[in-house]
Amino acid sequence: MAFELPNDFRCPISLEIMSDPVILQSGHTFDRVSIERWIDSGNRTCPITKLPLSENPSLIPNHALRSLISNFAHVSPKESSRPRAQQEHSQSQSQALISTLVSRSSSNASKLESLSRLVRLTKRDSLIRRKVTESGAVRAALDCVDSGNHVLQEKSLSLLLNLSLEDDNKVGLVADGVIRRIVAVLREGSPDCKAIAATLLTSLAVVEVNKATIGSYPDAISALVSLLRLGNDRERKESATALYALCLFQDNRKRVVDCGSVPILVEAADSGLERAVEVLGLLVKCRGGREEMSKVSGFVEVLVNVLRNGSLKGIQYSLFILNCLCYCSREIVDKVMREGVVEICFGLEDNESEKIRRNAANLVHTLHGNPMNS
């Protein structure tokens, strides 16, 4: 590439441009290959903060950053060969756009044009993201979300999503009342707006305090569960990703279960949405989640199908879920044994993933040594 990409696009471990950025539970983003290699080597601390990680650290895809990297990579080298002049022009341009957006006398058409151009500018420029936040434009963007105009909503949500890429903005956006707007859009917005709103929740939930705030907000979780049940493919994927991010906070798991999510997640997993399996992998850690999973007809068969045909991540989570359920239920043990899961686990002994090998061994041990299977 003939021009320099922002340092934020580089993995802190490899120092290379990230192709699959994921968020560690510490809140920092790494390229998936690099952080998985770090974890599989036995490290259980964040490479940056050195704070301890859980035994099986969760990695949340950073879709927003991945999109930014992809979009930035398509900027021509010629356009990027004058960074100083371009930056000065962008700064001047952004100020005029902000002024139009916040003006009460601006028409909806003018606001839409300003929002569209600010979305493009804030995708690539951290300085402009901070400038927009400090200028009071967040309140104007929130007003556009409230407008009921789906086109204005979509652009304002996209702007808020870009602004949320700055860690310092995540808590501030929640304090400004963005969750209420997101929940309203999840209920009544257009399909594109609903998908962006769910993605915005995922971005905000990177911060631990926001996980608690969002989870306790009335209707936030139920709106995501409803979107998972009724939405199109994109909406379902983004709602499942948001639920996964929220369920990394322990108190939210019961809330998600209580919204009737388990059978909906099982159905989504059966239709091929593996992110639903990952959410179930968090819900199985709470008693209510295990109880609800045990009630779903055909659940074991769905997980076994993932073991046979799923991705490495899907296989890893399916093994973990089955192990948790079998440890607590002889009935589940019997179902799992009848499905030939022991043979499947033996076939995974040489799998490339250390987590899969470990989870498979743990499941075999549980099936053969579970006191309820004696």
Q: Is residue 29 in some structural domain?
A: yes
Q: How many structural domains compose the chain?
A: 1
Q: Is residue 58 in some structural domain?
A: yes
Burial class (CB in 10 A: 0-12, 13-18, 19+), 342: middle
Q: Is residue 41 in some structural domain?
A: yes
207 touches 27 (CB < 8 A): yes
| pLDDT tier for residue 371 given thresholds of 50, 70 and 90 | very low
| pLDDT tier for residue 90 given thresholds of 50, 70 and 90 | low
Model confidence pTM above 0.85: no
243 touches 261 (CB < 8 A): yes
Please write the tens of the pLDDT for every residue from 282-320.
999 999 999 999 999 999 999 999 999 999 999 999 999
Please write the tens of the pLDDT for every residue from 93-125.
888 999 999 998 999 999 999 999 999 999 878
Only one residue has tokens 């890429």, namely 165
Annotate 277-319 with DSSP letters as a single string.
HHHHHHHTTSHHHHHHHHHSTTHHHHHHHHHHHS-HHHHHHHH
Please write the tens of the pLDDT for every residue from 130-148.
889 988 899 999 999 999 8
* Measured distance CA(296)–CA(285) in Å, rounded: 17
Q: Is residue 83 in some structural domain?
A: no
The rounded mean pLDDT for the chain is 88
Please write the tens of the pLDDT for every residue from 168-219.
889 899 999 999 999 999 999 999 999 999 999 999 998 889 999 999 999 9
Q: Is residue 255 in some structural domain?
A: no
Q: Is residue 54 in some structural domain?
A: yes
Looking up residue 68, the CATH number of its domain turns out to be: 3.30.40.10
* Measured distance CA(345)–CA(358) in Å, rounded: 10
Number of neighbours of residue 80 by Cβ within 10 angstroms: 16
Instruction: Of 122, 173, 7, give the one whose Cα is nearest residue 114.
Output: 122
Three-class secondary structure of residue 246 per DSSP = helix
Domain range for 66: 8-74
Mean pLDDT confidence for 347-374: 83
**Confidence (pLDDT) at 367:** 92
Number of neighbours of residue 287 by Cβ within 10 angstroms: 12
Say which DSSP state 105 is in.
T
Q: Is residue 93 in some structural domain?
A: no
Distances (CA, A) of 247 to 180, 338, 359: 20, 31, 21
Instruction: Of 317, 323, 311, 367, give the one whose Cα is nearest residue 342.
Output: 367
Q: Is residue 43 in some structural domain?
A: yes
